[in-house]
A and B are shown apart, each in its own frame.
Chain A
């Protein structure tokens, strides 16, 4: 056996140096772009030009910069929704379905409450969307708490079921009578989220998103319920031993998570589309899981990650329009960044030592 040669080994360390943490997202970004540049070259575009349009040009004009906030809105909400559940150790992968539950409520009430003033209509559809998302989330949550059925599988399957419900509505009773398209009738003017800035798509939904992030921060860090949730998330037996009602805590976290996802659906219907359509969500419920993870399950992190992913979404559209690189580059970038960042998060806990 060789003994004297010094070897480099990874050693676990409990307190990584402070400068490492902010470095991770930057490093992850660089590695992601190196990894995806092959695809860009395959699409006969120049990587540098693509990255310029991807990350810089959306920031250069007022309209496109506001569009980043528009794209970030549903992600803030689904990211907050997922964080709420994951923090309590409940793996809600069903934000996508819950989003559509909220959207159905908004599209239905938005038409039904046409004659009622906005001061009543808007709060009503937000509350209804929250309730609808909660109701749809209640199925897997109750199955989990009462019958110990794995929530990951049920929430995933219920996303598919919700897809069929939306399709049944749009091909049946809600098919637009004027155009015949599979979209619900337009909601009344009183249900439409007002614009924050004229001649942009930025609307009340963004403010609601900010409020939800704020509430998330407050609940997680400043309330005893937040403490209970995180205790359950860290370990159910220990939490139970500490006298926490694990079932009830899980149930509440799951329901609130579904409700927040429902609001994301409301914001897309009342703020952007004004109809229920099958393509309402570009997988926002699933992207929310990435956002929550990259945001390390805390409110500030979720906010920053949403803004960045809003930029990637807006940038992917610019790249597709200007350079003809398929818009799916956005999804690839987001997924790659998640996987790379996960690796780096872990590596920060290790240091290279000479043994």
Chain B
């Protein structure tokens, strides 16, 4: 039982990593007042371009870097549409998701053809700092990115948002852009920056899947994880630390369903029930937490200087 639990916690951390990265990225975008539904596509493109660049260059780190940069570019595109042009945020985001999906699949088909077994690369190794203590090793044998995400990105994202003047600017342009503008904050620049940071984190989440967890790129690699991340942002009340708990709930349910499947229990329900479980749990969590969610006041509202 202990082994099962330790195993489960270890897997939970792994499964939560990409969703947490994306959720923090979305938190930054929404805190600045922009709902970025391009998240699913940005993750997908990050997963693809990271894999592609790593495969062609032979360097996983270069692949990861290219992926993050691609996310920044799509974040800036989202900013151009919603901040500069003031276009409907739902539609722009979904358009970017479609564009990213199309571009990834186009380039993938062009370079790898329509083969049935997805091409793979040797992925990032897992770190094992406690090799000699079996139970601790099961828990801590993780990818470097998982360590960085939980130990560096989460605290850093929280600190930046709540303890620096840059974070204050982000929160103020998402809450009351008129007042922020009057106080001398460049609303447009701050929103651009928040979307760029957010996009980079989303793509990093996608690249984690293709470069670390799977070592391959498949059509179903993101499979709605971006949408889950958006739910987690609301669940986390736009706070990176609370988003972490949301990501762990989703990751825990996912890890649990994987364990239950591999245990080969003969259950009278289809295995898809387990696959759907994390999504259903996310909806329930959203219902429970969403009732007292305090949306950033300027979310979805383009800012115009009159």
B56 an interface residue at 8 Å Cβ cutoff?
A: no
A331 an interface residue at 8 Å Cβ cutoff?
A: yes
B214 an interface residue at 8 Å Cβ cutoff?
A: no
Are the CB atoms of A331 and B102 closer together than 8 Å? yes
With a cutoff of 8 Å between Cβ atoms, the chain B residues found around residue A159 in the complex are 224, 227
What separation, in Å, do the CA atoms of A160 and B250 have in the docked complex? Answer: 14
Are the CB atoms of A161 and B279 closer together than 8 Å? yes
Are the CB atoms of B85 and A342 closer together than 8 Å? yes
Pick the residue among B77, B96, B98, B234 that contacts A150 (CB under 8 A): B234
Minimal Cβ-Cβ distance residue in A for B270: A168
Are the CB atoms of A156 and B224 closer together than 8 Å? yes
Task: Report the minimum CB–CB distance from A349 to chain B (whole Å).
Answer: 10
What separation, in Å, do the CA atoms of A172 and B103 have in the docked complex? Answer: 34
Most buried by B among A153, A158, A165: A153
Pick the residue among A91, A164, A290 that contacts B276 (CB under 8 A): A164
Most buried by B among A43, A159, A168: A168
Are the CB atoms of A157 and B270 closer together than 8 Å? no
Task: Report the minimum CB–CB distance from A183 to chain B (whole Å).
Answer: 16
Binds B, one of A222-230, A299-307, A332-340: A332-340
Are the CB atoms of B276 and A165 closer together than 8 Å? yes
Are the CB atoms of B95 and A165 closer together than 8 Å? no
With contacts A164-B276, A331-B101, A346-B87 taken as known, whether A289 is within 8 angstroms of B290 at the C-beta atoms is: no
Task: Report the minimum CB–CB distance from A148 to chain B (whole Å).
Answer: 7
With contacts A149-B290, A332-B106 taken as known, whether A157 is within 8 angstroms of B228 at the C-beta atoms is: yes
With a cutoff of 8 Å between Cβ atoms, the chain A residues found around residue B228 in the complex are 157
With a cutoff of 8 Å between Cβ atoms, the chain A residues found around residue B92 in the complex are 339, 342
B53 an interface residue at 8 Å Cβ cutoff?
A: no
Pick the residue among A150, A293, A328, A339 that contacts B81 (CB under 8 A): A339
Are the CB atoms of B106 and A329 closer together than 8 Å? yes
What separation, in Å, do the CA atoms of A336 and B287 have in the docked complex? Answer: 35
What separation, in Å, do the CA atoms of A156 and B227 have in the docked complex? Answer: 6
Are the CB atoms of A342 and B290 closer together than 8 Å? no
Interface of B is mostly: helix
What separation, in Å, do the CA atoms of A160 and B280 have in the docked complex? Answer: 10
With a cutoff of 8 Å between Cβ atoms, the chain A residues found around residue B215 in the complex are none
A167 an interface residue at 8 Å Cβ cutoff?
A: yes
Task: Report the minimum CB–CB distance from A289 to chain B (whole Å).
Answer: 6
Pick the residue among A43, A164, A289, A326 that contacts B94 (CB under 8 A): A289
Are the CB atoms of B227 and A157 closer together than 8 Å? yes
B90 an interface residue at 8 Å Cβ cutoff?
A: yes
Are the CB atoms of B91 and A328 closer together than 8 Å? no
Pick the residue among B102, B106, B276, B286 that contacts A161 (CB under 8 A): B276
The 8 A CB mask of A142-156 against B (1 = contact, 0 = none) is: 010001111011101
Pick the residue among A147, A157, A164 that contacts B275 (CB under 8 A): A164
With contacts A152-B37, A168-B270, A335-B99 taken as known, whether A157 is within 8 angstroms of B282 at the C-beta atoms is: yes
Are the CB atoms of B102 and A153 closer together than 8 Å? no
With a cutoff of 8 Å between Cβ atoms, the chain A residues found around residue B97 in the complex are 286
With a cutoff of 8 Å between Cβ atoms, the chain B residues found around residue A335 in the complex are 95-96, 98-99, 102
Are the CB atoms of A332 and B103 closer together than 8 Å? yes
What separation, in Å, do the CA atoms of A328 and B105 have in the docked complex? Answer: 7
With a cutoff of 8 Å between Cβ atoms, the chain A residues found around residue B273 in the complex are 164, 168
B241 an interface residue at 8 Å Cβ cutoff?
A: no
Are the CB atoms of A147 and B287 closer together than 8 Å? yes
Are the CB atoms of B105 and A43 closer together than 8 Å? no
Are the CB atoms of A147 and B290 closer together than 8 Å? yes
Are the CB atoms of B290 and A148 closer together than 8 Å? yes
Are the CB atoms of B287 and A149 closer together than 8 Å? yes
What separation, in Å, do the CA atoms of A11 and B95 have in the docked complex? Answer: 27
Are the CB atoms of B270 and A171 closer together than 8 Å? yes
Q: Which parts of B9-67 form the interface with A (CB within 8 Å)?
A: 35, 37
Task: Report the minimum CB–CB distance from B257 to chain A (whole Å).
Answer: 11
With contacts A332-B99, A339-B99 taken as known, whether A153 is within 8 angstroms of B286 at the C-beta atoms is: yes
With contacts A160-B279, A328-B106 taken as known, whether A93 is within 8 angstroms of B98 at the C-beta atoms is: no
A242 an interface residue at 8 Å Cβ cutoff?
A: no
Are the CB atoms of A331 and B105 closer together than 8 Å? yes
A16 an interface residue at 8 Å Cβ cutoff?
A: no
Q: Which parts of A118-162 form the interface with B (CB within 8 Å)?
A: 143, 147-150, 152-154, 156-161
Q: Which parts of B257-306 form the interface with A (CB within 8 Å)?
A: 270-273, 275-276, 279-280, 282-283, 286-287, 290-291
A19 an interface residue at 8 Å Cβ cutoff?
A: no
With a cutoff of 8 Å between Cβ atoms, the chain A residues found around residue B87 in the complex are 342-343, 345-346
Pick the residue among B90, B275, B286 that contacts A91 (CB under 8 A): B90
Are the CB atoms of A293 and B290 closer together than 8 Å? no
Task: Report the minimum CB–CB distance from A75 to chain B (whole Å).
Answer: 14
Most buried by B among A159, A283, A338, A345: A338
The 8 A CB mask of A171-212 against B (1 = contact, 0 = none) is: 110000000000000000000000000000000000000000
With a cutoff of 8 Å between Cβ atoms, the chain B residues found around residue A339 in the complex are 77, 81, 92, 95-96, 99
Task: Report the minimum CB–CB distance from A131 to chain B (whole Å).
Answer: 22
With a cutoff of 8 Å between Cβ atoms, the chain A residues found around residue B283 in the complex are 154, 157-158
Most buried by A among B87, B102, B286: B102
A241 an interface residue at 8 Å Cβ cutoff?
A: no
Q: Could you jot down 9 A-B contacts, CB within 8 Å?
A: A147-B291, A153-B231, A157-B231, A158-B279, A160-B224, A290-B94, A326-B105, A345-B87, A346-B86
Using a CB–CB distance below 8 Å, which chain B residues touch chain A? 35, 37, 77, 81, 85-88, 90-92, 94-99, 101-103, 105-106, 109-110, 223-224, 227-228, 230-231, 234, 270-273, 275-276, 279-280, 282-283, 286-287, 290-291
